Amino acid sequence: MKHLTSLLLLTCFVLGISGCKSTKPVATALPAPASSVVIGAERLFTPDFLPLVKGKRVGLVTNHTGLLPDGRHLVDVLHQHPDVELTVLFGPEHGIRGEEDNHVADGKDSRTGLPVISLYGKVRKPTAAMLENVDVLVFDIQDIGARFYTYIATMNNVMEAAAEQGKPYLVLDRPNAIGGLYVDGPVAGKAGEPISNQEQVPVTHGMTVGELALMFNAERGTKNLSKARLTVIPMQNYERQQWYDQTGLPWIKPSPNMLTLTTAAVYPATCLLEGTNISEGRGTMQPFEYIAAPWIDGNKLADQLNSYKLAGVSFKPATFVPDSIVDGIKIYPPKFMGEQCHGAGIVITDRNAFESAKAGVFILHALKTLYPDKLEWKEGRMDRLWGTPKVREQLQAGVSPHEIVKNWDSELSYFKDTRSKYLLY
């Protein structure tokens, strides 16, 4: 079932930003895939997998990304299916329809009237009472490939509940949006420990949600924890070196601020700015493509960042004013809302060479070098994003970014070895 795909030379993808304008970047044209990827949600309705839900009461964990390629939502398809009884919906961060940018309350689905239980509020894992009318749990959400993107935490929390309550759990696989080859960043814990949750994976894990589910579930068993009766419905025609725009699938922004594949590509680097007082570009049409604050000199920051000569990326001076509405959705109030911010914009020149997790270290180093008196560290938030306090502590102690990156090699090597056991593609 498992096999390793060969590394291919991918078409160069030029991602540009305009220094002062809030316009979406235009990607160079990519050749059409030989055959479109068939996602797990499509295969659920084939004779091979339909028996897993036929005649069953189904609890579905999904959001607005749970679409079939023809535009139908999995909620609606299951709700209308004559052989399936969809009884309850579970929503992750941003809700079932993906229009919330904060904690989401319980409610009812506006289209089907089904009860919706939020798993991004006080409750993060379904309780026994919530699963009383459920025979089988199904998960179908598009992830992007970064450890701190919360959907994989929801997937794992539901799997723990399924294990504890003895419910079968189906994970309908989807692509890793930023490709399944780049694995990088520090790893929490010690080498040799079972990797049973998202807190133990690096910033970029290079896995699909199905592969992560297989790993977390199997590694739970090595800790003598209950394992879920897990079935991953794999994709067809997927190769792990593919970026999302090479799958033939339509892009649906996975969350209000994840507007484009460009956003997803830079997110593992600049989301780390949430652990500081520096804007990461939220409140613009190019979120996570900026590093800015009202008091930053954009030319100096761009020059400092370019001096590192990071592969596959360059930096240009940029200016913007954050707003509370992005792409028609009201977002959580961004930093410096209504204020003019100056800084650097990220331009990815070769996405296959760009190492976003490493870039995050150099970005923080540049800010500390240029603005030691104005840069503020939100230590708890920063440490949770990295998964360890080591990176922040080393930066604050003056350790060079090259040395910091080198220091995580041994832990990352153990993760890669463990990961290799669970790859499906």
Residue spans of the domains in the chain: they are 40-252+415-422, 261-388
pLDDT for 20 equals: 36
Strands 107-108 and 85-91: unpaired
Q: Are 235 and 269 in contact (CB under 8 A)?
A: no
CATH number of 261-388: 3.90.1150.140
- What gap in Å lies between CA 369 and CA 308, rounded to an integer? 13
pLDDT for 103 equals: 60
- pLDDT tens-digit series, residues 55-82: 999 999 999 999 999 999 999 999 999 9
Q: What are the backbone angles phi and psi of residue 72, rounded to the nearest 5°? A: -75, 145
pLDDT for 102 equals: 59
Reply yes or no on whether the pLDDT at 157 is more than 90: yes
Q: Are 305 and 363 in contact (CB under 8 A)?
A: yes
Q: Do domains 40-252+415-422 and 261-388 have the same CATH topology?
A: no
- What gap in Å lies between CA 291 and CA 296, rounded to an integer? 9
Say what the pTM is: 0.89
Confidence of residue 28 (pLDDT cuts 50, 70, 90): very low
- pLDDT tens-digit series, residues 117-145: 999 988 999 999 999 999 999 999 999 99
3-state helix, strand, coil in the chain (%, to 5): 30, 15, 55
Single-letter amino acid, residue 273: L
Reply yes or no on whether the pLDDT at 4 is more than 80: no
- 85 vs 10 pLDDT, higher one: 85
Q: Are 28 and 104 in contact (CB under 8 A)?
A: no
Which CATH superfamily groups domain 40-252+415-422? Answer: Uncharacterised protein PF07075, DUF1343 (3.40.50.12170)
